[in-house]
Amino acid sequence: MPPLISHNKLIEDDWRPVGDDQIIGDGEKVIISLARLRQQWDALARMHLTLAVELEPTAAVDQLVPFLDHLEMVVLHFDTFTDGRAFSQARLLRGRHLFSGDIRAVGDVLCDQLSFMRRCGFNQFQLAVDQDIDLAFRLFADISRHYQRASLGLVTE
Amino acid sequence: MYAYSQLDQQLVEQRVEQFRDQTSRYLAGKLDEEVFKQLRLRNGLYLQRHAPMLRVAVPYGVLNSTQMRALASIARDYDKRYAHVTTRQNFQFNWPALEAVPDILARLASVQMHAIQTSGNCIRNVTSDPLAGVAADEISDPRIWCELIRQWSTLHPEFSFLPRKFKFAVTGSRQDRVASQVHDIGLQVIKNTHAQPGFRVLVGGGMGRTPVIGKVIQEFLPAADLISYLEAILRVYNLYGRRDNLYKARIKILVNAIGIDSFRQQVDSEWQQIRESELRLTEEHIRQVSDSFKIYRYRKLPVGDTGLERLLHGNPMFSSWYRQNTREHRQPGYRIVYVSLKAHGQPPGDINDEQMDHIADLADQFSLGEIRTTYTQNLVLAHVEQSQLYDLWRALGKIKLAMPNIGTVNDIICCPGSDFCSLANASSIDISSDIMNRFEALDRLYDIGDIRINISGCMNACGHHHVGHIGLLGVDKKGEDWYQITLGGSATNDTALGKVLGPAVIKADIGRAVEQIIEVYVELRQPGESFLQTLDRVGRGPFKERIYATVN
């Protein structure tokens, strides 16, 4: 598995990502798609699950809003490191919808972008496989001064 | 001139060290080629045809003499003793070694300069009126707003990986000298009926492969809402701009695809949620930025005769330069001076290290230590006492910077073309040189009057060919350089996109073709009629006939 950083520590991933046609057991800790969440919500809500949703870069954050109180984590996807949509998605989740669970970056997650991600509200980072973990910790705050104020959930320290 | 705060300085210094680290990791083979490309572009560094090219930001085109000397020293120590003023008011070095770039950036940081976001798919250096704060026709000084946009957009964590590059231009005058209608966002500072400042906001303009004139998204945006509104536009663009096709990724394509009304609606619904946030500009914040601009200490000068009239009468060369290269200043007794970088035998916009040092000295001596750059690739000394114009003119003449050709056929906007740029399809510098040689005689130049000729070596349109009265676009046909001619473009208040005249013309004939276009204009014009007015009246027919009867 690619290394996972959470709250500035390297951690083991105890989440299980499940495909839309995979079976979920009672009380499991799973990452599901937005489509499954919306289609099977009534059933899922009765299963005592610990839930996370993975949102595609094309999906509107608004679709997730009715469910946010029931989610431990939202997973946002970088198809390529140059695709910056997840930065906006994270900011909307944190700043506008006041989501207080974890926001995890997955996909093409590069050390050199961690400080931007962190400032937009991400707090879990599943690094791309070729990324160096020591470098990641070093680059979290390679620039410590910012012009943008704490507006709308932007992390400023 | 804006003076850095401690925050500005620290941020720029940290950015230098960040880039030093990225460069050394790349050179050590620890950073992927494609990743480094994206990182270095966001710091203005291209790997070009011959060597890297470093584009240094000149925020809204204002420099002080110390900064100019630093640029000269970089040209001397790290380059081939010259630099290039770009069509976005920046300075470009064509020959630095990659290994040396972090040191160059450190030297820039020591004089409050940087190369942040001069390239890459992010918010680029903001351009503005080279006559900001001094123009007689100014409604409100645009520099304060430019600086606020600079700060907001610098290393913005949400908007550093946009679908495509994003360019702002801000004007505060009645006369548009920034090409505001052909930028991703054009801001025109205006005042409402209560004399409060605000902005007319245009969105979705641009040149390149698909030239589009910007559309009005807000007739009057109150000044306090500037940043929240820009953030709303950028968020809609970041989320919904196309990312599947490089050529359809600019905001103009999004605006055209969904229509300006629908785009405005989306922006508004985003804006309503952030309008009353911390993004709202307080009067205190605006004052703080405004106070960071040093006030120009003008002398109280006599308005009447300063001996200037006598000198103008006695010296036709000085008189031509005065007429062609100087403009009215709002301060009595002062004059604005354009320094032409369009000398015969020189690529448009190029300036060597000695000239840079001299210009810095002349700025200190004659113009409150300040130099401006223009998107037409010239310099401006904005605060010259009328009584010192003659001395300045003589001093400029000694360093070959007194060409009296601002606004003429020879004041060509020109990209570096295939001589330097790896994107170019054709050369552009030698074409501009060919054209300039045809109009060497000043009498002829002045008789023709003001005509804007713009040349781009490829359809990325760095040379603004779409908005030239006469535009030339280099195209590659089976390994040969050919040029498409457009007529009727303009980038001022009457912004228009030129229309293609006919088939492309081969390199050997293109200079002659441009000369013929100008001859047709001179033959057909009525007294006092500009090139665009004549073209409008007679149509493209006569121009087409003349050119295609003889070439191809």
- Averages of pLDDT over runs of 10 residues in chain A (157 residues) are 89 96 96 97 96 97 96 97 98 95 97 96 96 94 86 73
Which among B290, B321, B338 is the end of a domain? B290
- Whole-angstrom distance, CA of residue B419 vs CA of residue B426: 8
> How many angstroms separate the CA atoms of B458 and B378, rounded?
22
The confidence score (pLDDT) of residue B419 equals 86
Residue in chain A nearest B13 by alpha carbon: A143
Nearest-Cα residue of chain B relative to residue A90? B158
CA atoms within 13 A of residue B213's CA, in its CB half-sphere: 12
Answer whether A115 sits within 8 Å of B38, measured CB to CB: no
Q: Is B477 exposed, middle or buried (0-12, 13-18, 19+ CB in 10 A)?
A: exposed
Residues of chain B numbered 120-149 and touching chain A (CB < 8 Å): 121
Claim to verify: residue B148 and residue B283 sit in the same structural domain: yes
List the single best residue of B126, B161, B237, B276 to mutate versus A (max A Cβ within 10 A): B161
**Does any domain span residue B80?**
yes
State the total domains in chain B.
3
Encode B282-301: b = buried (16+ Cβ within 10 Å), e = exposed.
Answer: eeebbeebeeebeeeebeee
**Chain B nearest C-alpha distance from A133 (Å):** 13
Q: Quick one: B40 and B173 in the same domain?
A: no
Nearest neighbour of A149 by CB, restricted to B159, B273, B278: B278
- When CB atoms are compared, the residue of A91, A116, A144 closest to B14 is A144
Contacts of B360 (CB under 8 A, 6+ apart): B65, B66, B68, B69, B72, B371
Query: What residues have CB less than 8 Å from A53, skipping those under 6 apart?
Result: A31, A32, A33, A34, A37, A64, A67, A71, A73, A74, A75
Ordered alpha helix ranges (H), B215-352:
226-240, 251-258, 260-274, 283-291, 308-314, 316-325
DSSP letter assigned to residue B202 = E
Collect all residues of chain B within an 8 Å Cβ-Cβ radius of residue A152: 274, 277-279
- From chain B, pick out residues whose CB is under 8 angstroms from the CB of A96: 273
Burial class of residue B531 in the structure, from the number of CB atoms within 10 Å of its CB (0-12 exposed, 13-18 middle, 19+ buried): buried
The tens digit of pLDDT for each residue in B482-511 reads 999 999 999 999 999 999 999 999 999 999
Angle ∠(A36,A39,A43) on CA atoms, nearest 5 = 90
State the DSSP H helix or E strand holding residue B170, giving kind and residue range, or none if neither: strand B168-171
With an 8 Å Cβ cutoff, are A120 and B157 in contact?
yes
Q: Which of A55, A76, A82 to mutate to test the interface with B (most CBs of B within 10 A)?
A: A82
Residue type, B20: R
Q: Which of B234, B255, B290 is the last residue of a domain?
A: B290
CB atoms A112 and B39 under 8 Å: yes
What does R_g of chain B's alpha carbons equal in angstroms? Answer: 23
Torsion sign across C-alpha atoms B201, B206, B210, B213: positive
* B155 interface with A at CB cutoff 8 Å: yes
Residues B428 and B537 in one domain: yes
Q: What is the mean pLDDT of each run of 10 residues along chain B (552 residues)?
A: 94 98 96 95 86 94 98 97 96 94 98 98 97 93 96 97 98 96 97 93 96 98 97 98 96 98 98 95 94 92 82 95 96 96 94 98 98 98 96 98 97 91 90 94 94 95 96 95 97 96 96 97 97 98 92 49
Q: In angstroms, what separates the C-alpha of A132 from chain B's closest C-alpha?
A: 9
Same domain, B94 and B203: no
Tell me whether residue B357 is in a domain.
no
The pLDDT assigned to B550 comes to: 64
Cβ pair A85:B32 closer than 8 A: no
How far apart are alpha carbons A111 and A129 in whole angstroms?
Answer: 11
Domain containing residue B62: 6-109
* B105 part of a folded domain: yes
Phi, psi of B337 (to 5 degrees): -115, 125
For residue A117, the chain B residues in CB contact (below 8 A) are 157
The CA dihedral of B455, B456, B462, B466, to the nearest 10 degrees, is: 70
Helices (H), B350-408: 353-366, 389-398
Q: Are B277 and B142 within one domain?
A: yes
B67 and B163 inside one domain: no
Assess B319–A contact: CB distance below 8 Å, yes or no.
Answer: no
Residues of B in contact with A105 (CB under 8 A): none
Indicate whether B497 belongs to any domain.
yes
Same domain, B144 and B282: yes
Distance of CA B401 to the CA centre of its chain: 19
**Chain A partners within 8 Å of B18 (Cβ):** 142-143
Range of the domain at A86: 4-153
Q: Check CB contact under 8 Å for A87 and B243.
A: no
Token pair 């149509």 is found at B539
What one-character DSSP code corresponds to residue A96? I
Residue of A nearest to B20 (CA): A142
Amino acid residing at B421:
C
State both tokens at B73: 């020293």
Do residues B75 and B352 touch, judged by C-beta distance below 8 A? Answer: yes
Residue A157, pLDDT score: 63
Written as one letter, the residue type at B334 is Y
Considering the domain architecture, whether residues B190 and B252 belong to the same structural domain is answered as yes
Size of interface A-B (CB pairs under 8 A): 88
The tally of CA atoms less than 13 A away on the side-chain side of residue B531 is 24
The β-bridge relationship of strands B185-191 and A29-33 is: unpaired
Residues from chain A contacting residue B158 (CB–CB below 8 Å): 84, 87-88, 91, 116, 120, 154
Check A145 against B152: CB less than 8 A apart. no
Residue A101 to chain B, least CA–CA distance (Å): 20
* Residues in chain A whose Cβ is within 8 Å of chain B: 81-85, 87-89, 91, 96, 110, 112-113, 115-117, 119-120, 130, 132, 135, 142-152, 154
Same domain for B104 and B30 = yes
The residue type at B17: E
B7:A151 CB<8 A? no
Q: Do B157 and A142 touch (CB under 8 A)?
A: no
CATH of the domain at A113: 3.20.20.70
Structure tokens at B315: 């010296």
H/E element, A135: helix A133-139
Assign residue B214 the CATH number of its domain: 3.30.413.10
Same domain for B458 and B538, yes or no, is yes
Specify the number of domains making up chain A. Answer: 1
Q: Looking at residue A71, what DSSP letter applies?
A: E
Q: Which residues of B367-389 are buried (b: 16+ CB within 10 A; e: fewer)?
A: bbbbbbbbbbbbbbbbbbbbbbb
Q: Phi and psi for B408 in degrees, rounded to 5? A: -85, 180
Residue B285 inside a domain? The answer is: yes
The answer to whether residues B282 and B203 belong to one domain is yes
CA distance A114 to A3: 14
Residues of B with Cβ-Cβ distance to A110 under 8 angstroms: 35
Assess if residue B44 is contained within a domain: yes
The continuous run of DSSP H or E covering B454 comes out as strand B453-456
Q: What is the CATH number of the domain that holds B20?
A: 3.90.480.20
Q: Which residues of B touch A76 (CB under 8 A)?
A: none
Please give the residue of chain B at the shortest CA–CA distance from A87.
B158
| Contact (CB, 8 A) for B57 and B116 | yes
In 3-state terms, what secondary structure has residue B213? coil
Q: How many Å lie between the alpha carbon of A51 and the closest alpha carbon of chain B?
A: 25
Distance from C-alpha of A19 to C-alpha of A32, rounded to nearest angstrom: 7
The ipTM, to two decimals, is 0.97
B278 touches A: beta carbon within 8 Å: yes
Residue B149 sits in the same domain as residue B260: yes
Residues of B in contact with A89 (CB under 8 A): 239
Q: In degrees rounded to 5, what are phi and psi of residue B380? A: -130, 130
Decide if A147 and B7 are in contact by the 8 Å CB cutoff: yes
Nearest alpha-carbon partner for B178 in B498, B536, B491, B518 = B491
Task: Using CB atoms, pick whichever of A84, A89, A146 lies closest to residue B161.
Answer: A84
